[in-house]
Structure 1
Amino acid sequence: MPDHPPHAFAHGLRRSTLHSGDYTITRLRQDLDTYAEFAQSESDDAYILMVKLRPPHTYELFVGGERRAHVREQAGQPGNLCLVYRQASVRLAVEAPFDMVEFAFPRRALEQAAAEPGQPATGLLRPPPPGTLDPAVAAVGSALLPALERPAQASPLFVSYMTLALGAHLLHAYGTGATPPVRGGLAPWQERRAKEILRAHLDGNVRIADIAAECRLSPGHFATSFKRSTGVSPTAWLARQRIDHARALLRRGDLTLSEIAAATGFTDQPHFTRAFSRLVGMSPGAWRRQQ
């Protein structure tokens, strides 16, 4: 089997990449109706997870030079995944146009997640058959698409939270250990400190690990405990704070929508308008006119 450099594709590949802690997240798109292949020649203690966003396509999976699967996927089934333990070289031969998100991460990232309360007591995964439909993984991949479109403007808080959520899901869905129960939330001082940090970073330019360290917790324990204490994730809580702050500025009436967008941590006015409309049910301009 010939060796190929990582992500060696036929002409027409579009690629964008994000990094979050131990995770590397890459969107790979090929619009041409042609054969393509790529390889990961590294042999290390790591996983590769690929989730398909665009149906249909057929692919063959080779691990360590041996053919492991020949998957023919049906139209209308975005969310099919392929999870591979990369202790040997991995090669994927793909037919027809495709659009997928690839997560590459060392096993130590799962070992750290497995040490959190409520997680299986092992970082080992039992990969499902290639082509398995997993809506939760598909949802994470789709949620990261805006960040992958503009990696330089991606919110570290959001991206780090999504990779934590992905690791927790993989452990629960495909982990090899039993899952103990989770109890309790944040202590009052931890909740206060976490909210202080989030309010000070309305643009989301802070990582879950940074807030967790201030609360003297691991990232996974913090994220789980924050949701138990507040009823929402840190990213959802921050989104509400940004909109509440935007409402206060809209009531003042002396700032333009672009100025309010910048003051509340949004990348631009359209981003602000979309987020405001989604949570409030109307545009910021319409809301201000009603005050």
Structure 2
Amino acid sequence: MSIELPSHDRYAYSAIGDRPDFSWPQGWRLAVYIGLNLEHFAFGEGLGAALVPGRAKLDVLNYAWRDYGNRVGAWRLLDLFEALDLPVGLIANSAIADYCPELVTAYRQRLNTELIAHGRTNSETQNALDERGESTLIVAARDRLAAVFGDTPTGWLGPWIAQSQVTPDLLAEAGFAYHLDWCHDDQPTWMATRGGESILSVPYPQELNDIPAIGVRAADYREFACMIVDQFDEMLEQSQAQPLVMGIALHPYIVGQPFRLRVLRQALAHIAARRDEIWLTTPGAIAAHYARVFPAAG
């Protein structure tokens, strides 16, 4: 007897080996992007990865630890990315536009970057709101980033990747072309929305992500660097059969620490040395190319 399970009804099952073949630009088979999360938190309250969990208010320790990322870590990472000539997807809270806009400006001046909306602050989650409140959050984050930096983001990553039942619908209605909230595949996926207009899901890593790997599973920093190298080498081989997307998710207050930065540099240099064999790019470029090859049905 079959069982009826609740379903999201956003996409149908598809085995990766059964899909039509295609290539990324210039015949590349593996697209690689870095997603750098630029986040700002409420002082002494709200959500956030914890250096020491369970701290009572006023939580100066965890606030200051995260603030290190914007004041120091992100600037060290900027030097690293520039030295290796790596494009970066800037996944930014709109609060960054008011707290330290010079950080985003420096990245945009020195690197090939894409600005990606990441809610207002990671001190809140959008699925804690009703539909009207969530819609307000999405539009406010989009519009604030556009007003300060001059570009309207086409991509979205929710704070804490906390979608509600209607998040894809609200994102499509707000004009977003893609989101990074789902980690279910190594290729982009079209997702249905209530308005009939599809939105693209671009793969975003939850394994090759420094918060789950280091902050939650307590992986050693050298282990995380090895994960990047092994993921890259394996996916480069796998991509001969199917074109793939490899994302690397980083947070400056974690990998911007000097001891982690040192081995991260080695791992990213390993990837950069193979740049002639891969597409080093941004999530938005991946979404745009895929949409040209496989236009949305709706």
TM-score tier by shorter-chain length is under 0.3
- Structure number with the bigger relative contact order (C-alpha 8 A, sep ≥ 6) is 2
TM-score (norm 1): 0.23
